[in-house]
Amino acid sequence: MEGRGGRREAEKVEDEEKRQSILDHINKFLRMESDYCRANTKNEFLAPELNLTTMYNMYVSEMAADKKKPASRSLYNNIFKSLGLKFFALKKDACGICLRKMKKNPTEESFLTMYQKHMDEKVKVRQVKEGAKKMASENPKICAAVFDLQQVIYTPKSHHSSIFYKRRLANYNFTIFDLQSQESRCFLWHEGIARRGENEISTCIYKFLQEKDSDGTEEVILFCDGCVGQNNNSSCPA
């Protein structure tokens, strides 16, 4: 019989087994939450200590322990990219409009008009903040402050390969910074105590306002970003 062309069925089965072994390995890694505007991205995130080289080396070691032949690095990379996974990276918060401008740089007239209006508002808010800071410096009964929730802190932190397969504890740090006194008030808790939604953020702000009231402060001006899940909602309108 003609023997040219096509691949043997055994090879196809072997390829499928290798693909499945890659998927099984990648799915062992726990996903992390992204912080700012989580609803605007479909990507899932892996621990920042990881990278494709580390993951592939761990995969090869596991396959060797099971006395199986590993798939190629290129196949591992391709399957990883097809899953929409990214490595978590700490970065400065950016809103949806700014992210779209940075990543896609659209040229539509409607977007450019909206972006310019957004940048003008950004300048105005900075001017308002500087004005509030000046008021607070001139009047001790006025407090001007900014607040934000830090990126999730996962513990324990380690570069040991086994830690990447474990469920780590998520810790939250909400900070309020006084623009005039340069003092910070940090509220720290972990996921076993509470979540990091509007109720938790409102509670921290309420606690801060109670402290300022007891200090004799009569007016508090607060600034924050517009993250809907935490700052801009019915409980805590930004």
pLDDT at 146: 95
* Nearest residue to 168 via CA among 180, 152, 183: 152
What pTM, to 2 d.p., does this model score? 0.64
List the chain pLDDT tens, one digit each, 238 residues: 555 655 565 566 678 899 999 999 999 988 876 554 444 556 678 887 789 999 999 999 999 999 999 999 999 999 999 998 888 765 556 677 887 777 777 888 888 899 899 999 989 999 999 999 999 999 999 999 999 998 888 888 777 777 777 788 999 999 999 999 999 999 999 999 999 888 999 999 999 999 999 999 999 999 988 765 556 666 665 5
The answer to whether the CB of 154 falls within 8 A of the CB of 169 is: yes
Task: Please calculate the CA angle 205-173-175 and round it to the nearest 5 degrees.
Answer: 45
Task: Please calculate the CA angle 129-222-153 and round it to the nearest 5 degrees.
Answer: 110
Q: Which ranges of the chain would DSSP assign to H, the alpha helix? A: 9-26, 52-65, 73-82, 96-104, 109-138, 198-214
pLDDT at 37: 43
pLDDT at 30: 81
pLDDT at 79: 93
188 token code pair: 């720290």
Residues 99-156: tens digit of each pLDDT: 777 777 788 888 889 989 999 998 999 999 999 999 999 999 999 999 999 888 888 8
